[in-house]
């Protein structure tokens, strides 16, 4: 796993947009199944040209939400043998905690990487 890039301290508005890239995953409550990916994707697409810090956090949030979606589908398949249910709880709690941590770190002006994340969007 590579370390996150170093950015000069971004302005407060760029930090807020970077934080929103992560917290947009909670759009899942409005549009289940796809909202967790659509939220960060929309925010990132609208604001990626604004600042490299926002662009980086948008990609990171989107990559994590894609990974989370894949894990959720895998847990759904494993639910047929009953191990998927406890795994689903673990995956959801872990994702919730990691999204909150990422949002806080983005608002603080830090470039933080999600652990256990496929980096598909470059």
Average pLDDT, the chain: 90
Query: Which DSSP state fits 80?
Result: G
Is 69 in a helix, a strand, or coil?
A: helix
56 class by beta-carbon count within 10 Å (0-12 exposed, 13-18 middle, 19+ buried): buried
Instruction: Please give the pLDDT value at position 28.
Output: 82
Note the pLDDT tens digit of each residue in 28-56: 877 777 888 999 999 999 999 989 999 99
Task: Return the percent helix, strand and coil in the chain, to nearest 5.
Answer: 70, 0, 30
> Distance (Å, rounded) from C-alpha 99 to C-alpha 95?
6
Q: Is the pLDDT of residue 1 over 60?
A: no
Q: What pTM was computed for the model?
A: 0.89
């Amino acid at each position: 796993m590579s370390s996150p890039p170093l950015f000069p301290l971004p302005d407060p508005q760029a930090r807020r947009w970077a934080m929103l890239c992560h917290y947009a995953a909670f759009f899942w409550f409005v549009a289940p199944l796809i909202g967790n990916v659509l939220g960060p994707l929309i925010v990132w697409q609208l604001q990626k040209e604004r600042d490299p810090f926002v662009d980086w956090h948008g990609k990171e949030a989107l990559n994590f939400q894609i990974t989370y979606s894949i894990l959720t589908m895998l847990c759904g398949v494993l639910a047929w043998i009953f191990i998927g249910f406890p795994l689903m709880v673990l995956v959801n709690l872990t994702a919730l905690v990691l999204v909150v941590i990422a949002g806080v770190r983005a608002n603080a002006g830090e470039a933080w990487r999600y652990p256990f994340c496929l980096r598909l969007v470059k």
